[in-house]
Structure 1
């Protein structure tokens, strides 16, 4: 197994209520809107979680939804890395492009978007330990 697993997904939405109803009804997911103070982000619990909101099944991931915008118009996968600076250098050395500087998400870790050689946008996350 890789030391850099996919740990989170993100997808855009146009209508929060409609999106929540769809995923709750179709798949039984729990959705938790975080409100305007968190950019109207909606956490999606697609897998069973423990009291720390961590998945309990190996290999399972949870995710979230954010309002669709010019900068958020497609599905995004988040890859966990031990050292974000090194991972950014590795992405660029392999022909990808890092999109900006890492930002800190309080209680989560350092986060930055990148594109691969095929134009797919993904993200790196150095989790807070």
Structure 2
């Protein structure tokens, strides 16, 4: 099968587990300003999160009306740390965001790594043990308003 015959299916949502719903909601609100809505037992105790204000994303073509995010794959190396799926969160100041993560109860894994032409990148662990990362792009991302 060639790539021309495979439709491009966009990523439209992310999910992470939590062990303590309130703790997780407080962490992401304090570290990244996310808002949340707890859906309760009738909806499987799901916690919806909003990561950007309305209108922060650029307009999408009609075929992408649901929106999308881009991603990437990296080679697995058993002897490297943090070999887990993660979400990359755009931040305007990676060092300030690192401090907010620590203040909110998370752990930052090392120092930011400069990715030429892309920005500064660092991995963190949230209060629920999920491994994610932050990126201070060379340009401020539109979804990250200060």
Global fold match (TM > 0.5): yes
Q: Secondary structure at the match of 2:73?
A: strand
Q: Does the CA-based 8 Å contact 1:81-1:125 persist in structure 2?
A: yes
| Greater strand share, structure number | 1
Aligned to 2:70: 62
Q: Secondary structure at the match of 1:88?
A: helix
Number of equivalences: 85
Aligned to 2:7: 28
Which of structures 1 and 2 has the bigger CA Rg?
Answer: 2
| Cα distance, 1:112 vs structure 2 | 0.2
| Cα distance, 1:46 vs structure 2 | 4.3
Given the two structures, how large is their TM-score scaled by the length of structure 1? 0.56
Q: Name which of 78, 81, 86 aligns with 1:76.
A: 86
- For structure 1, the 5+ residue unaligned runs are 1-20, 30-44, 48-54
Distance (Å, rounded) in 2 between the aligned partners of 1:107 and 1:56: 24
Given the two structures, how large is their TM-score scaled by the length of structure 2? 0.50
- For structure 2, the 5+ residue unaligned runs are 12-57, 61-65, 140-146
| Cα distance, 1:74 vs structure 2 | 1.8
| Cα distance, 1:123 vs structure 2 | 0.3
Q: Name which of 94, 110, 118 aligns with 1:100.
A: 110
